Amino acid sequence: MIKFLLLLLAVAAIGTAIYVVGRLIYDIVAMFRNRAATSEGDKAVLWRDVKAIGIAAQIVALAAIVGVGNFLWGNFRDRTDAIGLELGFDFLDQPGGITIADNPLIAGDSVGKAIVEGFFNTIRIIMVGIPAALILGTLIGIARFSSNWIVRKLATGYVEFFRNIPPLVVIVFVWSAVFLNAFPTSQEAWKPLGEWFILSNNRFAIPSLMGQDNFGPFRWILLGALILAAAVAFWRTKVFDNTGAPHHRVLWGLGTFFGIGLIAYLVLGGPVSMSKPMLDDRGRVFSDGFRIQMPFAAITVALIIYTATHISEIVRGSIMAVHKGQEEAANALALSTFQRYRFVVLPQAMRVAFPPLISQFLNFSKNSSLAIAIGAAETTNIINNLFGQSQPAPQLILILALLYLTLSLVLSAIGNLINRRLQIVGR
């Protein structure tokens, strides 16, 4: 996977260079062709021709960039040759020498596999954190308009406090003051609801599903049920658009998914079972269930708290951009506060809010690298640990930058697709 991303980066860089040079050559040819097409009397002096000056400036800028890049690369190669540092990526197949708690990664696994596991942990933080931050930020933004003085001031205080604190301080505070000290040790872990949940300052453990016989077919059936549920929800939306009948797409979609899932579960003879978390006799080793390490919980919660403050301000400004007459019309129809925001205000506000929200999603993904401060085994921390195993730093830094670049581009592409879906189509 890492080598494939590096190959894509190289192809993209070469393609960009070819495009820039090709565009410059095209402009030069077009300029001389246009000059040849004009009459002798209409020709402008070359050094006064705006297009010629622009092309000359591009040539100078390109030459400066190439020159500076060549100078820096030469210094870099001289330094690496002096210390005997190889610039290849064969080290990715060597043993990494690191492990990750609650992960099958062992010290004998390759460097590439260790980086991939850390990257997946980063993706998990983002998948949980971004939707939660969006929901919390939207609620806080709406609370800023509450008619209740206490709710309004609490929302304002929350935003002004956390927005003006560096995210690293928020992360360290949530980790040390809340998760590390507010919860008991593993030996004294809280076990509410008949020990189905285990809460300590080391891990959270909750029940999970464990695959049994026929779990493979059951998993594919659930995937098909999910696709069918989405199709049913789309169909109900079309019915609403064409007839005005209530769509109830959520109920139809969930009913389809859980109905097919229940039938498949009964036919396949129970392909999944419940796994209950447990601690050993000494209260130290967790087993079974779904386990969440405290550093991951802390970084996710801290980034949600911090990012939600910025999202709330975007949502608040977008709500203020909705014409006041829209709310007056909603009040005239006797809509409740929830209905007014759900059906009138927020659909219009989100069209304004979503482009800047994309930037906050990107900030969330990049701020996840601050998990290195509390020891969460995400991408940056894994690569930092590989530094300690005498792995080459330049290549690892390049891989780290490439992985975050990939995340940002994917999130940006998804956000732009959603943004286009939210916009009103002109006629």
Domain ranges, ordered by start, for the chain: 2-83, 111-207+276-422
**60, 81, 82, 63: which is closest to 71 by C-alpha?**
63
**Distance, CA of 252 to CA of 148 (rounded, Å):** 36
Q: Burial code of 157-169, b = ≥16 C-beta within 10 A, e = fewer?
A: ebbeebeeeebee
Residue 383 Cα to chain centre, angstroms: 19
Query: In the prediction, which pLDDT does 35 show?
Result: 56
Residue 375 has pLDDT above 50, yes or no: yes
Query: What is the mean predicted confidence (pLDDT) over 174-192?
Result: 83
Q: Got the DSSP string for 21-32?
A: HHHHHHHHHHHH
Mean pLDDT of 12-20: 63
Alpha-carbon distance of 19 to 73, in angstroms, equals 22
Q: What is the mean pLDDT of the chain?
A: 83
- Asked if residue 319 lies in contact with residue 145, where contact means CB atoms within 8 angstroms, the answer is yes
Q: pLDDT: is 190 or 371 the higher one?
A: 371
Maximum average pLDDT range among 348-352, 360-364, 415-419: 360-364
285 φ, ψ to 5°?
Answer: -100, 125
Confidence band for 217, pLDDT divided at 50, 70 and 90: confident
Q: Is the pLDDT of residue 17 over 70?
A: no
Q: Is the pLDDT confidence value at 174 over 50? A: yes
* Tokens representing residue 251 in the block: 């109920």
Q: Residue 211 is encoded by which pair of tokens?
A: 């695959």
Domain 111-207+276-422 classified CATH 3.40.50.970?
Answer: no
Instruction: Tell me what percent of the residues of the chain surpass a pLDDT of 90.
Output: 33
The 203-206 sheet, strands edge to edge: 198-199, 203-206, 290-293
Listed ranges 16-20, 75-79, 307-311, 400-404; the one with the highest mean pLDDT: 307-311
Question: Which position has the higher pLDDT, 87 or 303?
Answer: 303
Distant-in-sequence contacts of 241-248, Cβ < 8 A, 24+ apart: none
255-281: average pLDDT = 85
Angle (CA) 243-248-251 rounded to 5° is 150
Higher pLDDT, 338 or 281: 338
* pLDDT > 90? residue 9: no
Q: Pick the residue with more confidence: 247 or 29?
A: 247
Please tell me which residue, 49 or 360, carries the higher pLDDT value.
360
Give the Cα separation of 306 and 162 in Å (integer). 6
Q: How confident is the model at residue 119 (pLDDT cuts 50, 70, 90)?
A: very high
Angle between helices 379-387 and 111-143 (to 10 degrees): 140
Predicted confidence (pLDDT) per residue in 228-252, tens digit:
999 999 998 888 888 888 888 889 9
Strand partners, 291: 205
**How high is the pLDDT of residue 214?**
81
Tell how strand 278-279 and strand 290-293 pair up.
unpaired
Query: What dihedral do alpha carbons 57, 61, 64, 68 form, nearest 10°?
Result: 170
pLDDT at 67: 86
pLDDT of residue 95: 87
d(CA 343, CA 159): 26
What would the mean pLDDT of 42-48 be, rounded to a whole number?
56
Using the predicted structure, report yes or no on whether residue 349 has a pLDDT greater than 50.
yes
Q: Could you give the CA distance from residue 305 to residue 163 in angstroms, rounded to a whole number?
A: 9
Mean pLDDT across 279-308: 83
This prediction has a pTM of 0.80
Position 154 scores a pLDDT of 94
| 63 or 260, which is more confident | 260
Q: Which residue has the higher pLDDT, 11 or 311?
A: 311
Asked if 382 contacts 117 with a C-beta cutoff of 8 angstroms, the reply is yes
pLDDT the model gives residue 79? 80
Please enumerate in sequence order all residues whose Cβ is within 8 A of that of 347, keeping only pairs 6 or more positions apart, or say none: none
Which range of 183-187, 330-334, 410-414 scores highest in mean pLDDT? It is 410-414
Least confident window among 72-86, 88-102, 132-146, 271-285: 271-285
pLDDT at 20 over 70: no
Supply the pLDDT for residue 89. 80
pLDDT at 427: 44
